[in-house]
Structure 1
Amino acid sequence: MTSIYNFIGSWQLFPEKGIYETGSRPKSGICIITANNDKQLISINTNWVTLENQAFAAQYELAADGALHAFADNDLADMVKVDIISTIHFEVFFYKNENEILQVIHELLPNGYLKIIQKGFTTGQKPYINTEVYHRQMSVLPYASSASGALVKPTEEGVIRHKALSAMEEQTNMQLDQIRRQIELLALQAQEIQMRKELSMIIYNAKLSFSPVIGSVYYLYQKNDDTHFVSMIAPGQWGRGAAYKEFIAKVKLLADHTWVEV
């Protein structure tokens, strides 16, 4: 049941993101998912309002053990099964007279949204697929988030778990952000060291007619034959007939005997 905890919470419908091959498009909706770890039960409570301001609600308590169980609403189905595929994916299968009549796929998207796909058959036995997208509400409210929304009554256990989940998400996201910043800093430091190494290799292969002093600034040049040399003379201090083809960089010797461009 650990895998279902990512889904626990209150989810608000994006009506404009839905794709409906059958039925009418709702103008608002809320899906609340809770779990009872001791009994391996998932509770799914869905409320929605149509464009004609008709309110509907459905609530199911399902055993999440991958086995077939009798379903309470015989008008819809007589058997039901829940398969937990991964921490971001679980599916519910409804059966009537041993025939699968409805498959409901719950999937968490990379952006944190919840996508619910319903695959079933119309009364005329025509297959259909309805897709809905939800975003997580930051609090479990005892009422719908819109003025025309249907009444929602979350359980106390669901509220406690949702608060714990929200706190966990906030803390882990903060820790992940800190690690990302540390990785970015290390990458920049590694890039800086690599640049110092490459510059140092050029200088140590160049002509150096004096002993450089740590912390002092010098000038790297390229000669006509494409070799390099280091000088204490700045580019503006050369007279006529300068002995270099191109000025490369102003450099400084560090305490670790690497060179850095200044």
Structure 2
Amino acid sequence: MENKKPDNIVYSETEGYNANLLPYGTSVGAPVIRMDDLVSWKSRGITTVNKEFKSKFDELKAQYQSLIEEFEWNELVYNSKFSFEPVVGEIYHLYRSIDGNDFLSLIGPNEWNKEHIGTFKLNSDKKWIHLS
């Protein structure tokens, strides 16, 4: 009868009666040990992180599109015909001639009747900024 212990008593062969040393409740009146709902926590985390990645991706995609557009405008202006050295900070106008060639001019679009492609300004990095 000495080896039999009641079910509600914590006893270890090596530690003895050690209920007060355990990190969890051992009596019937102790709070219930519940497992955290990790599935919903993971789901919320995944949703949050995916939104963050999508936001960053969309931002990079917009920057990429803007860069491609700048490149294409610069390529168009640099491949056009002009017989002068453009001055940094000045505004120039790009036109298409009757034969289909593009040319750069100081003359504004309302001053003559040519097909106006766009208005540009040369910055200090020698990059053409498309104004309109």
**Which TM-score band (shorter chain)?**
0.5 to 0.7
1:165 paired with 2:7, answer: no
User: Partner of 2:107: helix, strand, or coil?
Assistant: coil
User: What residue ranges of structure 1 are gaps of 5+ in the alignment?
Assistant: 1-154
How far, CA to CA, are the matches of 1:214 and 1:165 in structure 2? 60
AA paired with 1:249? G
Higher strand share: 1
Name the TM-score, length of structure 2 as normaliser: 0.63
What is the TM-score normalised by the length of structure 1?
0.34
Q: Which of 213, 222, 234 in structure 1 is aligned with 2:108?
A: 234
Q: How does 1:119-138 map to 2 (within 5 A)?
A: none
Cα root mean square deviation, aligned: 2.1
In the TM superposition, what are the counterparts of 1:6-45 in structure 2 within 5 Å? none
Counterparts in 2 of 1:1-262, with a 5 A limit? 156-157=34-35, 160=36, 162=37, 164-238=38-112, 242=113, 244=114, 246-262=115-131
Work out the percentage of aligned pairs sharing the same amino acid: 28
**Unmatched runs of 5 consecutive residues or more in structure 2:** 1-32
Distance 1:249 1:221 in 2: 7
Letter in 2 for 1:252: K
Please state how far the C-alpha of 1:225 moved relative to its aligned partner. Answer: 1.0
SS in 2 for 1:235: coil
Counterpart amino acid of residue 126 in structure 2: H
TM-superposed deviation, 1:183: 1.1
Instruction: Report the Cα offset of residue 167 of structure 1.
Output: 2.7
Encode CA deviations 1:195-240: one digit per residue, 9 max, x unaligned: 22122122112122332233432211001111111112211123xx
Query: Contact 1:197–1:258 (CA<8 Å) still a contact in 2?
Result: no
Deviation at 1:256, TM superposition (A): 3.6
Secondary structure of the 2:119 match is strand
C-alpha distance in structure 2 between counterparts of 1:189 and 1:256, whole Å:
19
Give the drift of 1:175: 1.9
Which structure shows the higher helix fraction? 2
Residue 192 of structure 1: how far off its partner (Å): 1.5
The 1:254/1:183 distance shift into structure 2, 3 A limit, reads farther
Amino acid across the alignment from 1:211: E
After superposition, the Cα gap between the structure-2 partners of 1:236 and 1:192, relative to the gap in structure 1 and judged at 3 Å, is same
After the TM superposition, which segments of 4 or more aligned residues of structure 1 sit over 6 Å from their partners?
none
Q: Deviations along 1:165-198, whole A, 9 cap, x unmatched?
A: 3233223322221111111111111111112212
Offset of 1:156 from its aligned partner? 2.4
Question: How far apart are the structure 2 equivalents of 1:176 and 1:254?
Answer: 39
Corresponding letter in the other structure for 1:202: L
Distance of aligned partners of 1:177 and 1:200 in 2 relative to their CA distance in 1, 3 Å threshold: same
**8 A Cα contact 1:197 1:259, kept in partner:** no
